[in-house]
Structure 1
Amino acid sequence: MKQLFVTGTDTGIGKTITSAWLCKHWQADYWKPVQSGLDGGTDSQWIANLSGAVVHPETYRLTQPLSPHQAADIDGLKIQLSDFHLPQAERLIIEGAGGCMVPLNWRDTMLDLMTHLGSCALLVARSGLGTINHTCLSLQALKAAGVPVLGVVMVGQQGQLGSAANREAIEHFGEVPVLAELPHFSTVNPEALAEFGMAERLVRALNSL
């Protein structure tokens, strides 16, 4: 089974759109191990609607849109790493909650979940100002935890000032490739995702898993 853990430099960075895009073009299943917040639709529901992918049920569904450790405390739950088991799929996109240092409980973070699952990470970052620091710090955390990193996907306005220089700096200082750059889609629907194809360097990287 080929699996990839999509994490980000922040919450709201574009992980779900990136995951839907990957599921659609890589023909992968989707799994969100921890869903924090149930009002307004879950990430799994978004992915199903946008990509048509097979969606595997979350291990934890938490009612509040907060960090998993805090949301679990409110719901009277304690998240345990031992509860997470990879669903069976030929190809699987796993989407984390927030960034790689987000706590699952008062001991374990998303990094520990990646290690527990034996996952390779794909880091989603913004393309604009501030991304170099946030991206390189996240890459350092992933590498320090021994999590292999496939590369980076940058999300933002195409051709914006500084984005090309940011990409070059991330590849140089982060020592990983930027495998794709996704736009802020003016309309988010299955057709828009289908029309924006995958770069050959990303296809090669995914096939190497």
Structure 2
Amino acid sequence: MHNLFIVGTDTGVGKTVLSLALMHYMYARNHKPCYLKLVQTGCRNPYDTDSDARFIYRYIDELKGRDCADAVISCFREPKAPYFAARSEGAEIDPDFLIREISRRGQGYSPLVIEGAGGLMVPLTEKVMMIDLVAKSGAKPVIAARAGLGTINHTLLTVEALKNRGIESQGIVFVDPLERPTESRMVEDNRMIIEKIAGVPVAGVIPRIVNFRRSMEHLFPMFDRLFIR
């Protein structure tokens, strides 16, 4: 199984929920996955209540007793784009260091589930963006996208940016956390036209999840469509 890079069409589109579901799926399919958060912003440390790694480790039994800080490579307090979050602390992000840490921390695991920050074009430095890390990592992107209005444009732009770098996407997953779900007809229309134009499979939808302790097994056939072809 190749490594996966969880990218989003925007910030707040559900990358962490998708990462959690994929981790559950990989364990259920007898893989030995490893979750990594490259750059966490808006947190004092990896144990903060807003930490993505803390959320992942909280809801995966296989990670019980493990230190969620092991999953976080860089962490900054300000809820800003990584470049500005680092700058506000007088720090700089070293993209080459991030790539080395992916390799080091991922030893003995397969696949790595690497979660990015924000969208593909978010800056890490004045010259390096998140998409550059996707390219250097060699991992296949899985795109988290909204299910409703506006997702066609954002998702196609994301796929186009990846294609322009010669990066093939593993697939797209809609995340729909709204109390009032997106109308099923709109979801199907969005799925159909994105697949037709982008040539990338849209696996399905992760609906609103109220209790993250409950099994995610109902999502596994959706992921099978991405990984078993």
- The answer to whether the superposition gives a TM-score over 0.5 is yes
How many pairs does the alignment contain? 205
The 1:12/1:141 distance shift into structure 2, 3 A limit, reads: same
After the TM superposition, which of the residue ranges 79-88 and 96-105 deviates more from structure 2? 79-88
After the TM superposition, which of the residue ranges 9-18 and 34-43 deviates more from structure 2? 34-43
Residue 174 of structure 1 is matched in structure 2 by 198
Deviation at residue 195 of structure 1 after TM alignment: 4.2
Deviation at residue 133 of structure 1 after TM alignment: 0.5
RMSD: 1.8
Residue 166 of structure 2 is matched in structure 1 by 146
Structure-1 separation of matches of 2:17 and 2:135 = 24
Matched ranges for 1:196-207 at <5 A: 196-199=218-221, 202-203=223-224, 205-206=226-227
Is the 8 Å Cα contact of residues 148 and 182 (structure 2) preserved in structure 1?
no
Deviation readout 1:142-174 (Å, 9 max, x if unpaired): 111122200100112264441110110110111
TM-score where L is the length of structure 2: 0.83
Matched, 1:31 2:36: yes
Structure-2 separation of matches of 1:207 and 1:190 = 26
Structure-1 separation of matches of 2:175 and 2:140 = 20
Matched, 1:72 2:83: no
Aligned to 1:30, the other structure's residue is in SS state: strand
Residue 30 of structure 2 is matched in structure 1 by none
User: Which of 198, 201, 212 is the aligned partner of 1:189?
Assistant: 212
Residue 14 of structure 1 is matched in structure 2 by 14
Is the 8 Å Cα contact of residues 2 and 140 (structure 2) preserved in structure 1?
no
User: Which of 47, 50, 53 is the aligned partner of 2:56?
Assistant: 47
Matched ranges for 1:23-172 at <5 A: 23-27=23-27, 28-38=33-43, 39-52=48-61, 54=63, 56-84=70-98, 85=100, 86=102, 87-88=106-107, 89-156=109-176, 157=181, 159-172=183-196
Structure-1 separation of matches of 2:211 and 2:80 = 24
Deviation at residue 65 of structure 1 after TM alignment: 1.1
TM-score where L is the length of structure 1: 0.91
Structure-1 separation of matches of 2:228 and 2:115 = 19
Structure 1 segments of 4 or more deviating over 3 A? 52-56, 158-161
The 1:204/1:98 distance shift into structure 2, 3 A limit, reads: same
Structure-2 separation of matches of 1:111 and 1:52 = 31
Is the 8 Å Cα contact of residues 31 and 95 (structure 1) preserved in structure 2?
yes
Where does the alignment leave 5 or more consecutive residues of structure 1 unmatched?
none
After the TM superposition, which of the residue ranges 170-179 and 51-60 deviates more from structure 2? 51-60
Aligned to 2:204, the other structure's residue is in SS state: strand
After the TM superposition, which of the residue ranges 33-42 and 67-76 deviates more from structure 2? 33-42
Aligned to 2:224, the other structure's residue is in SS state: helix
Where does the alignment leave 5 or more consecutive residues of structure 2 unmatched?
28-32
